[in-house]
Amino acid sequence: MALPRPPWAPERLDQAGHPRHILARSLRDVAHANHWFGGTRSLRIALTPFLKPGEALSLLDVGTGSAEVLLDLVRWAARGGVTIQPVGLDAHAEILAVAREQAPRLPLVHADMRALPFRRGSVDLVLATLVLHHVPDESQVCALRELARVARRGVIVAELERHHIHWLGAKLLAATIWRSPLTRHDAPASVARGYTRQELETLAREAGVVARARRFWFYRLVLTAVAADEQAAASSTV
């Protein structure tokens, strides 16, 4: 059963001025949640159809946070013989500073996902993990259009499924396991601002993007869109 979706409001992680160690701890919590609750696994599954052993492709991670998810995907793809040329992007300058400390050699860009500083079709794959719900509702269609605009082959958007059980689980972890004040506030808020599968697919349609959302354990949604040129190329080979 889906929770009523509250009006948009910035989460604490979105705000400026947090001490670096507080930000880093909250970002570690996000990385751990991705690892233990299926986020990383669902992204690997969604990426697999786009990967061919022996090839190299560029991957733009929008809302990269600490870049831990991006770096995990680079290492995982390399084990399968695929070279990923990664770029991380985030709108939060202080979060990017944490990412630079953890991954000093990773190319990082400070920009808003609603106005990506890339040419049309300039990146093979665009990934946005747990970032769309941070965008005000009236700008989410614009954000999805931007992801699709710069992607040459495909777009993957991973989000939280809004559900009572998921929200209660986040409240429980906030009260027991998580110690970061940012995580303890933001985790339940993020679930409440999550989506149903139908809502994500509707946003994609409004953005003019042909996409399908899949549900994964534990209350994860992954919206996958194949770029129009890629679809045409696939059709011509049939």
Cα 121 to Cα 66: distance, rounded to the nearest angstrom: 25
Q: Are 161 and 223 in contact (CB under 8 A)?
A: no
pLDDT in the model for residue 234: 46
- As a dihedral over the C-alpha atoms of residue 144, residue 145, residue 149, residue 152, rounded to 10 degrees, the angle is 40
pTM, full prediction: 0.94
| Coil vs helix vs strand at 206 | helix
Q: Are 215 and 161 in contact (CB under 8 A)?
A: yes
Cα 122 to Cα 124: distance, rounded to the nearest angstrom: 7
State the CB neighbour count (10 A cutoff) for residue 146.
23
Q: Which of 225, 58, 212, 36 is nearest to 149 (CA)?
A: 225
pLDDT in the model for residue 185: 97
Say which DSSP state 118 is in: S
Assign domain 12-236 to its CATH superfamily. Vaccinia Virus protein VP39 (3.40.50.150)
Q: Which of 176, 175, 234, 236 is nearest to 210 (CA)?
A: 234
- pLDDT tens, N- to C-terminus, the chain (238 residues): 568 999 999 999 999 999 999 999 999 999 999 999 999 999 999 999 999 999 999 999 999 999 999 999 999 999 999 999 999 999 999 999 999 999 999 999 999 999 999 999 999 999 999 999 999 999 999 999 999 999 999 999 999 999 999 999 999 999 999 999 999 999 999 999 999 999 999 999 999 999 999 999 999 999 999 986 555 444 444 4
Cα 220 to Cα 44: distance, rounded to the nearest angstrom: 13
230 exposure class (CB count in 10 Å sphere: 0-12, 13-18, 19+): middle
- As a dihedral over the C-alpha atoms of residue 22, residue 23, residue 25, residue 31, rounded to 10 degrees, the angle is 170
pLDDT in the model for residue 227: 84
Q: Which of 190, 160, 193, 147 is nearest to 7 (CA)?
A: 193
Q: Are 209 and 157 in contact (CB under 8 A)?
A: no
Q: Which of 106, 97, 89 is nearest to 24 (CA)?
A: 97
68 exposure class (CB count in 10 Å sphere: 0-12, 13-18, 19+): buried
